[in-house]
Structure 1
Amino acid sequence: MKRKTKFFTAFSILLISISTTQASTRSEVQYLVKKYNLSDAKIAIATQTTNNGDQLYAYAQNRLMTPASTNKVFTIVAALFTIPSNFRFTTSIMYPSNRVKDHTLYGDMYIKFTGDPALTGSQLATLIKKIKTEKDISKITGDVYLVGVFSGPYIPNGWSKEDSTFCFGAPASSFTLNRNCTVIKLVKNTNSLTTRIVELSNASNITIKNTAKYTSASSATTIEMNNDNVLYIGGYLSRAAEKMFKLAIKNPALKTLDTVNDFLNSDGIKHGNVIIAGSVPTGYTEQITTRSQTIGHFIDQALKHSNNLYAETILNTLGLKEKGIGSTKAGTEAVQSILYSKLGLDTSALTMYDGSGLSHLDKVTPEFMVNFLTKAYNSQIGKEFYNYLSASGISGTISYRMGGKLLGRVHAKTGTLSGVSTLSGYLLTAKNHRISFSIMLNDLKPSDRYNARRFQDKLVDVFYRNL
């Protein structure tokens, strides 16, 4: 009887303790919402223990929210389960070796691009130069075909026009070169209201038409690139004497095609046309190849530095490996299938339109997010995934956030879009309990962005003390 009494007494104390902790957390959350003027924002929060998945504090945890870049965690975990750690992207020159005679390739040459998102113009130039320096070919009697493995479309549904204009929204094409990004500077001409363009990087084979004028008023610069890679700059250069723009290449395949043609010509390799093709014919074998770093490098950059191009390339690669199609749609379907088969997750609370989280159509509940995080942590790739995430006060996008007593105790992914700020990951609390958490804010005003991050950081501190 005494044992039962002691058990019920201990159990009652535990319930009271949990109830008190939740009440304290709830009170502090309400205070922080008011302190940071976020009452008009849509907020949803979930936390749970990683050892058994027990729910801790939650608020509107089943509300569908736009995750922004926290969406990347789904893409990356699927990749860790599926893509071998020694995987590398390759760019290969292919032809039948028996067709080469007297410095001449009799027939066509194929260059196969597998979407290496870090391929540079210098690397491609070196590869093409080896046609002559290593293979002793100075003439190709046929054409040069460029073959990719991704099928597009390269701008996923839900990406804003503004986001896809700039480098952070560059398309993930098979033919990526120099991050599919060009950098220019708009400069005021001396003693004139006219402006000129200074090309800073990767601006070859882009036609620039500039009609922008200088003004001392607050007026916008208009920017648009068409599918022929013609860049139109209009409107105004406002107040500043110059302004830099990092712009996405609209048609990477065309840019790479023109670049290959230029390299062949500069190396004195005679050839026919340079053409985009759908596949490599049988009988064509790899003769010269350049390889990227292993997949881990791209995963690290996608998570720690929120590299959208890398995330979308990984998604397309997942689609190609799992569904036989290198597209966004096949990639998102592959991710959902992998999360179900490897983690046993019902993905009905997850809607993915891309791999990076730039799409405003992506939706997920914080409840699903923490379930995912807990299951991923306890899976065979859990430790690897955890170490790829940014660490508070140490690395990545939270290297400047949550230092002090939280230094290194938070491993998480941030997310930012227009009207959206999110933070999801893991926290080692003061009691040395590891928890999964997800804090999502939507419908933010532009002026709320700083306060939203402050709110997240302070809320993590509440979790640290209370949970």
Structure 2
Amino acid sequence: MKRLSVLFLVFSLCFNVFSQTKTAQDVLNDFISQSELKNASVSVYAENLTTNTLVFDYNSNLALAPASVLKLVPTSMALELFGADYKFKTELAYSGQISADGTLNGDLYIIGYGDPCLGSQNFTSTYGKDFEILQTWTNEVKNLNIKKIKGNIIADISYFGEIPIPDDWIWEDIANYFGNQGSSLNFVDNLYYLHFKTGYTNGAATIITKIEPEGLGYKFDNQVLSSSTVWDNAYIYYTADKNQMQVKGSLAWKQDDFVVKGSIREPERYLVQAFSQNLNSNGISLDGNLKVISAFDINVPRKVFHTTYSPKLSDIVDYTNIRSFNLYAEMLAHHIMKKTEKSWNESVVEFWKKKSIDTDGLELSDACGLSRFNAITTKQIVGMLKYMGLYSANKDKFFTSLPIAGTNGTMSRFCIGTKAQNRLHAKSGSIARVRSYAGYIYNSNGDEIVFAVVVNNHSANSYRIKKIFEDFFAALVDIE
């Protein structure tokens, strides 16, 4: 009798364990039934690459705004079109002649070819620390025995011409660090830094104590208040005067040095100014003006005397995806457009059609995902990821550019302590009421699942929407 009881208990336990194992449909139902997604547009698509089977297909043809998941498009295409080892260049050149007394009777040029990260502190091994690149360039001028420039110092941005701010980026975004449209001559990530000292009472005024780098010529109408309930809710706004900014919102109280990042509107102008100052501090004088040109007269002969190269494209792609860096994504898109001689949307559609992806409904306004007018389906995203994972010669470079849950980049605090930690390799995306993830995840059997999940117009706060997705991915690991 005791033996029968033991057998019954073992059977019951096994039955409970088996019955608690959720199917793919169970996991999907749990996800889409969350109250915060009741009025949202939700799309989920996933395939098991190991078994070649479908895992999820829910509204997979619904075209939605993907936020920063969209960065997967320019990064994958750039690797395919240019190659992982490709480098962007910036040239120094001069026109005219250098006399025996060290006078350049002509102009000194910085010629931009759209290096996304020229001078960036994200790549100090390439450009040096701080503004070391300016001294490197100054030394190259010295090597020509130039002591005086009897002409102009010119920033040449004719490679792309003037890049306009996308029409459908919202006003709240475009003056902040994530809203820079890029240039043929980007410099130090087109960023400046506002240092705030906040008050000790709720609602107290704040003080801007320092602006870095110096010499931008910007003025700020500071309306930021101290807050006991928020950390960083301050935004920079352009005004009718391009050198006058407004800063509104609130920052955490009781902070001696709270840093807010802004976008340098015309980085080429700042670069030519900073270079001129560095030349002057090294005893090289200028008898002329600082200029920016968006078109160059090819009849004017120029001699290139120095070329600065960027890091490898694969390194730029890594930073773009792992840190979700908007500027780099936008610049990669401009290079793709230059190569294909088509608009961004046309370039994307044509490229992926050739990879047998159905591009119906695909409409892209930018490359970084900031625009709410972007429209892409989860099935299209998975198609791109599937191609990169199975057929691309750059598949390893692309895969390692994706953040790992609980480990690095924008996913470093995601899924910590869950089964999805370290199994989930994905790009995340988030703008107002939008949350999305796309990439690869390994289930408990070691199967590789490629997926995309996009939610538009959810009603959850940031903590809650993060938890909904964490629960989804943790459950996805156990699906066989």
Same structural fold, with TM-score higher than 0.5 when normalized by the shorter chain: yes
**Unaligned residue ranges in structure 1 (runs of 5+):** 1-19, 324-328
The number of aligned residues is: 440
Match of 2:375 among 363, 374, 391: 363
Q: Is the contact made by 1:209 and 1:231 (CA closer than 8 Å) also made in structure 2?
A: yes
- 2:62 equivalent to 1:63: yes
Contact 1:391 1:410 in 2 (8 A): yes
Amino acid at match of 1:292: S
SS of 2:182's equivalent in the other structure is coil
**Is 1:348 aligned to 2:348, yes or no?**
no
Seen in structure 2, the aligned counterparts of structure 1 residues 407 and 180 have a Cα distance that, compared at 3 Å, is same
**Residue 414, structure 1, aligned to residue 424, structure 2:** no
Distance across 2 between alignment mates of 1:385 and 1:213: 41
| Aligned partner (choices 390, 394, 398) of residue 378 of structure 1 | 390
Give SS of 1:319's match.
Answer: helix
Query: Shift of the alpha carbon at 1:222?
Result: 6.9
Supply the RMSD in Å over aligned alpha carbons: 3.2
Deviation at 1:362, TM superposition (A): 0.8
Q: Distance in 1 between the 2:437 and 2:388 partners?
A: 17
The aligned counterpart of 2:6 is: none
* Partner of residue 213, structure 2: 202
SS of 2:167's partner is coil
> Where does residue 177 of structure 2 map in the other structure?
167
Displacement, 1:305?
1.2
Distance 1:226 1:434, change over 3 A: same
Distance in 1 (CA, whole Å) between partners of 2:135 and 2:221 is 33
1:358 shift after superposition:
1.0
SS in 1 for 2:194: strand
Kindly indicate whether residue 196 of structure 2 is the aligned counterpart of residue 182 of structure 1: no
Q: Give secondary structure in 2 for the equivalent of 1:40.
A: coil
Tell me how far 1:352 sits from its aligned partner. Answer: 1.3
Which residue of structure 1 aligns with residue 280 of structure 2? 265
User: How many Å separate the matches in 2 of 1:283 and 1:408?
Assistant: 55
Larger displacement relative to structure 2 (62-71 or 386-395): 386-395
Task: Give the AA of the match of 1:466.
Answer: I
Find the aligned partners of 1:273 and 1:233 in 2 and give their Cα distance: 30
Question: TM-score, normalization: structure 2?
Answer: 0.82
| Distance apart, 1:457 and its partner CA | 2.2
* Structure-2 change in CA distance of 1:401 and 1:258 (3 Å): same
* TM-score when normalising by structure 1: 0.84
**What's the counterpart of residue 3 of structure 1?**
none
1:322–1:376 CA distance, 2 compared to 1 (3 A):
same
Task: Give the match's secondary structure for 2:23.
Answer: helix
What SS class does the counterpart of residue 346 from structure 1 fall into?
Answer: coil
Contact 1:53 1:371 in 2 (8 A): no
1:254 — aligned with what? 269
Change in 2 beyond 3 A, CA 1:25/1:291: same
User: What do the CA deviations read for 1:333-363 (whole angstroms, capped 9, x no partner)?
Assistant: 333322233x222322322111111111111
Matched, 1:156 2:155: no
Does the aligned pair in 2 maintain the 1:226–1:250 contact within 8 Å? no
Contact 1:91-1:112 within 8 A present in 2 as well: yes
Q: Could you tell me which of 381, 406, 409 is aligned with 1:396?
A: 409
Deviations 1:215-244 (A, max 9, x none): 789998674335864233466767835553
Instruction: Return the offset for 1:79.
Output: 0.6
Equivalences for 1:28-43 in 2 at 5 Å? Answer: 28-34=27-33, 37-43=36-42
Instruction: Using the TM superposition, name which of 85-94 and 349-358 deviates more.
Output: 85-94
Q: Which amino acid aligns with 1:125?
A: L
Question: What secondary structure sits across from 2:209 in the alignment?
Answer: strand
1:321 CA drift (Å): 2.5
Bigger Cα displacement from structure 2, 55-64 vs 409-418:
55-64
- The structure in which a higher percent of residues are helix is 1
Is 1:334 the counterpart of 2:347? The answer is yes
1:9 match: none
Q: 1:413 to 1:253 in 2, by over 3 A?
A: same
- Kindly indicate whether the alpha-carbon contact (under 8 Å) linking 1:393 and 1:399 is maintained by their aligned counterparts in 2: yes
SS of alignment partner, residue 31 of structure 1: helix
Residues 1:190 and 1:416: Cα distance change in structure 2 (over 3 Å)? closer
Deviates more, 1:294-303 or 1:222-231: 222-231
The whole-number CA distance in structure 1 between the counterparts of 2:200 and 2:438 is 50
**Is 1:76 the equivalent of 2:75?**
yes
Deviation of 1:188 (Å): 6.0
CA drift of 1:394 comes to 2.5
- Alpha-carbon contact 1:168-1:307 (below 8 Å) kept: yes
> Can you give the 5+ residue segments of structure 2 that lack an aligned partner in the other structure?
1-18, 120-129
